[in-house]
Amino acid sequence: MNFDFSDDQKQLRDQARRFLAEKCQPKAVRAVLEGKADYDRDLWKGLAEMGFLGVAIPEEYGGTGAGHLELCVIAEELGRVLAPVPFSSTVYLAAEALLLAGSEEQKQKWLPKISSGEAIGTLALFEGTGNPSPAAVKLAVSNGTLTGTKKPVADGAIADFAIVAARTGNSGRETDVSLFLVDLKAGGVTAKALQNVDPSRQQAELTFAGAKAEPLGAANEGWSILSRVMDRAAVLIAFEQVGGADRALEMGRDYALDRIAFGRQIGSFQAIKHILADMYVSATLARSNSYYGAWALSTDAAELPEAAASARISATQAFQHCAKQNIQVHGGMGFTWEFDCHLYYRRANALALSLGSQSYWEDQLIDRMRQKNAA
Amino acid sequence: MNFDDTPQEAEFRAKARAWIDANAPKQYEDELRKASLGRVVLKGANILEVAKAWQKKKADAGWAVPHWPKEYGGRGASPIERVIWQQEEGVFGKLTAMFIIGQGMCGPTMMAYASEEQKRHYLPPLGSGEKVWCQLFSEPAGGSDVAGLRTRAEKDGDDWVINGQKIWTSGAHYSDYGILITRTDPTVPKHKGLTMFFLDMKSPGVEVRPIKQANGNSDFNEVYFTNVRIPDSQRLGAVGDGWNVSLTTLMNERMSIGANVATGFPELFDYCSSLTLDGTPALDDRAVRSKLANWAVKASGLRYTSFRSISALSKGQRPGPENSIGKLVAGSMIQEVAMYALDLQGAAGVLSGSEDAEVAGRFQAMLLRSPATRVEGGTDEILRNIIAERVLGLPGDIRVDKDVPFNQIPTKGRA
């Protein structure tokens, strides 16, 4: 059994960590958080130059073709530093959708631009409150154009193109949904940035008014493509969450070592130690579940749907738990704007919703376990 | 990243599997599979006898304690081969429960501190299950604070004379030998005045009394010592070095990596899969689904955490600290799982008889046994301290009795 990343992958992790320690300090996250920029362009350019944007994109489409385990490694490092860039929208969602279902022409057009950092992509799925479901997709298609509204769309206001879920049938089944690729700069789409709990990553409303759209994948197979894209993204975002959880745990641990109260390090009090031990427990469970997800993703295993749901649920819990308890360990200082604790708290709670909420993934997991049992 | 065996591992696995297939007591397989925490029943058979017979059969073929050196009854298997053996032994491994303390803790302590002659004499029958060992550590006044123990050992010629009481000794009532930690010097701080021995449990003055536990069973004992004589040749480690010797024992307790920690989840998912609530399948119920999903990821998280440790072993590395979470997670989980299973049964969840209760009362038995899982072998709180101090590097608690002579430490909370 070799249930671990390889030495080369660990080297890549060290390389990414060194790069991000320089290029993505908390002040860079705060610049976006405080509205001084809509995303960190220098960092985005640097990620392209390092080959990180195209790490799972084959060489023929301008990537490095390293693979998905390597992408998991990068994701964890981006999660640790709360990278304020549209990486997940572009790489986990748009690029994965193109790789799974794009035509040769679509792949040739967009994947090299993703690898080089020239194009930002996103997935436009949600239409207001509620979890992903075929019935919730209302956006209409007529004569190759789209009409309707999507929100929230992660990074929607800075994206160059979007993969859009639209209604192409009324049978009440999954096959009512098809996917389209829309060049957001080609007219017919207006974008409005929306306030959200984690302003270090943008959310937007996209209004389509007769926007030109080309099909992505076969007609009426949109939902099944989406499900596969979401599973893949769930594993990758789980690694961001694992990275964030680990960093929040380290911040809490470091503060408990530095802070003196009642004449001693607060980390010597069992009340604080036990909080931190429980953070370690949830972070460890999440990491292990995510490793299994990484294995399933990288081998395209039949276990991927169940593994992805487990990784997603576990990593969401861990990051939320660690971010929340990190503030608790910091006491009042943890609730100041000046300390970075709230950056992790914000990101943890935003990521928890980014692919549909925890209850959605709980449902997915049970359905999948049930199918496996029945089989 | 893969789950494949190396060629050597595959060869070892094939050998183990073939032998188990040809020799395991298959007539008990089904009952062992259905056994869960607090309820292991073999109809028409004495489980101790079945367990000893299986252990002896393994010993004769060199499979009893595969990771031990050959001269002491093992086959010199590597840590990863030990794990593979446990995986292959599967449900039959439940029969080794009565040997775990002896082989997992007493054996390694003997290996580290006994004389060569003693090791050759005592270890092979310990491995083969012909002799059962227990570990005499906890006392009424020394549980989590085991260094607070009060059982005295006083030198008399070439012997030591033991007086005092141990508690929570698993299997003392069927044990042949035990390792015993005692206080030999009460005038020095508590960790410094301890000494370790091994003894024959049939020695005059040893009295074993079963404890009637809160769940009504009696798996643990109190052991009383009245002027019990132990020859100095049965001392393990130097006089006054008992605390360090005990750490060898306790470290081994936490090294059992391949061992499955019971979470109760497979039993609960299985139960819910065939349960209907108000005429619809329980697995269609949102609340049930949410609960199950949250436990599912804990159970899978523990499974894959052990895979990470196994991978380290496979590469010949020491596993990281990740395995330290196992009992902490599983202990409280199995208790919550049991409570939830009863909740799903409504008022009838109160029934515990194997005839009247759902699934033969397995969840009721689990409920009543589970409080002990959060205490035995280190309480949840001690485990959190260990993670905080050894894994996260936080400072130890301030210990007010650390430098005080043992006989001056207060013994009563309120007058």
Asked if the model's pLDDT at residue A253 lies above 60, the reply is yes
Question: A69, B292: Cβ pair inside 8 Å?
Answer: no
pLDDT tens, residue by residue, B129-149: 999 999 999 999 888 899 999
Question: Closest by alpha carbon to A29, among A39, A19, A21?
Answer: A39
- In angstroms, the CA A222 to CA B127 distance is 61
- Return d(Cα A188, Cα A212) in angstroms, integer: 7
> In this predicted complex, what is the ipTM?
0.96
Interchain CB contact of A313 with B (< 8 Å):
yes
**What are the φ/ψ torsions at residue A162 (nearest 5 degrees)?**
-135, 145
* DSSP codes joined into one string, B372-415: HHTTTTS-HHHHHHHIIIIIS-PPPPP-TTTTSBGGGS---S--
C-alpha–C-alpha distance, residues B394 and B402, integer Å? 18
- Residues 6 or more apart in contact with residue A349 via CB below 8 angstroms: A197, A198, A320, A323
Q: Check CB contact under 8 Å for B381 and A270.
A: yes
Is 0.80 surpassed by the pTM of this model? yes
Look at residue B288 in the predicted model and tell me its pLDDT.
97
DSSP-derived 3-state class of residue B181: strand
Report residue A166: phi and psi, to 5°. -135, 160
Angle at A119 between CA A115 and CA A125, to 5 degrees: 110
Structure-block tokens of residue A331: 């006491």
Q: Could you give the CA distance from residue B109 to residue B107 in angstroms, rounded to a whole number?
A: 5
- Enclosing H/E stretch for B197: strand B194-200
Strand A214-216 and strand A145-154: pairing?
unpaired
* pLDDT score, position B257: 54
Burial class (CB in 10 A: 0-12, 13-18, 19+), A111: buried
Q: Is B144 on the interface with A (CB under 8 A)?
A: no
B158-162: average pLDDT = 98
Q: pLDDT of B17-29, one tens digit each?
A: 999 999 999 999 9
Which residues of A are less than 8 Å from B322 in CB distance?
A: 284, 287-288
Say how far apart CA B127 and CA B124 lie, in whole Å. Answer: 5
Closest alpha carbon within chain A to B325: A281
CA pair distance B114, B108, nearest whole angstrom: 10
Query: CA triplet A272, A274, A277: central angle to 5 degrees?
Result: 115
Tokens of B246: 């005990």
Helices in B44-202 by DSSP H: which ranges? 47-60, 79-89, 100-101, 107-113, 116-128
Q: What's the CA gap between B324 and B308, in Å, rounded?
A: 12
DSSP classification of residue B317: P
3-state class (DSSP) for residue A58: coil
Residue with tokens 């997992």: B104
SS3 content of chain B, % helix, strand, coil (to 5): 50, 15, 30
Residue B255, CB half-sphere, CA atoms under 13 Å: how many? Answer: 17
Beta bridge partners of A210: none
* pLDDT (tens digit per residue) in A10-33: 999 999 999 999 999 999 999 999
- pLDDT higher than threshold 80 for residue A343: yes
> CA B368, B287, A317: angle at the middle one, nearest 5?
85
The per-residue pLDDT for range A197-222, each reduced to its tens digit, is 999 999 999 999 999 999 999 999 99
Contact between B398 and A268 using a beta-carbon 8 Å cutoff: yes
List, for residues A113-154, the tens digit of each pLDDT value. Answer: 999 999 999 999 999 999 999 999 999 999 999 999 999 999
Q: Residue A267: closest CA among chain B residues belongs to which residue?
A: B394
Rounded distance between C-alpha atoms, residue A177 and residue B355, angstroms: 52
Asked if residue B258 has pLDDT above 60, the reply is no
Instruction: Tell which of B394, B397, B399, B400 to mutate to test the A interface (max A CBs under 10 Å).
Output: B394
* Residue A197 in contact with partner chain B when CB distance is under 8 A: no
What mean pLDDT do residues A164-172 have? 95
End-to-end CA distance of chain B: 61
- Does the beta-carbon distance from B384 to A270 stay under 8 Å? yes
Residue reference for tokens 């227990």 = B134
Once rounded to an integer, what is the mean pLDDT over residues A153-169? 97
| In contact, B175 and B136? CB cutoff 8 Å | no
